[in-house]
Amino acid sequence: MAGTGAGYDLSVTTFSPDGRVFQVEYAGKAVENSGTTIAICCKDGVVFAAEKFLLSKMLVPGTNKRIFPVHRHAGMSIAGLVADARQLVSRARSESVQFNTQYNEEIPPEILAERLGLFMHAYTLYGSIRPFGAALLLGCVEKDTKVPSLFCIDPSGMVFKYTGTAVGKGPTSLEALVHVAKIIHKARGLPSILRQVVCSS
């Protein structure tokens, strides 16, 4: 049982002597080793950009998506294990539909982000399951006020609100997201890697 975890990484419910939960840290490493994804709030929506690796020359374009719509005024970009992230996208869509069915209105961005955070956190509480190896960037536009909002949800279930952020490999190597926003604004519609999926219209 020698190694980094020294036996304390066998269950998500086990704390190491120095107070670490290795299973959650491993999930964070899965996010750090994936392609970088960026999201920035603009005055008329949220812009996502995702780095996608060419896994094979035979790969059909569009089958390794990292940007997904949630509902008419919300979308998300993912970093980490795509299979785990697709489960979270499915959960976000079902939360949106359930809220709309129950209250006959779109789910507010803060409530959607908190519900996704609680869902991800639940997978860090029981020994029979493991944390999701994915982080989410959730972008929403409030239907009535047209105010965009951006949330980052990490594998532990923590929810943070940003005006612009990046997750994945080397997010801190970006000197300033403001410069990225300027580049995206100038090159709007040109590169296929950039896609605005959440807008106020």
Residue 108 lies in a domain: yes
pLDDT of residue 194: 39
Q: Per-residue DSSP letters for the chain?
A: --SSSTTTTS-TTPPPTTS--HHHHHHHHHHHTS--EEEEEETTEEEEEE------TTPPTTSS--EEEEETTEEEEEEE-HHHHHHHHHHHHHHHHHHHHHHSSPPPHHHHHHHHHHHHHHTTS-TTS---SEEEEEEEE-TTT--EEEEEE-TT--EEEESEEEESSSGGG-S-HHHHHHHHHHTTTSSTTEEEEEE--
- pLDDT mean for each 10 residues of the chain (201 residues): 65 87 92 89 87 82 88 94 95 97 95 97 91 96 91 96 88 58 58 43 45
Residue 28 lies in a domain: yes
Residue 175 lies in a domain: yes
Task: Kindly report the CATH number assigned to the domain that includes residue 91.
Answer: 3.60.20.10
Instruction: State the total domains in the chain.
Output: 1
Contact in structure between 76 and 138 (CB atoms under 8 Å): yes
Distance between CA 160 and CA 126 in Å, rounded?
24
pLDDT of residue 73: 93
Residue 13 lies in a domain: no
pLDDT of residue 75: 96
Residue 17 lies in a domain: no
- Containing domain of residue 84, as a range? 22-199
Residue 181 lies in a domain: yes
Residue 43 lies in a domain: yes
pLDDT of residue 169: 82
pLDDT of residue 89: 97
pLDDT of residue 57: 85
pLDDT of residue 128: 86
Residue 165 lies in a domain: yes
pLDDT of residue 196: 45
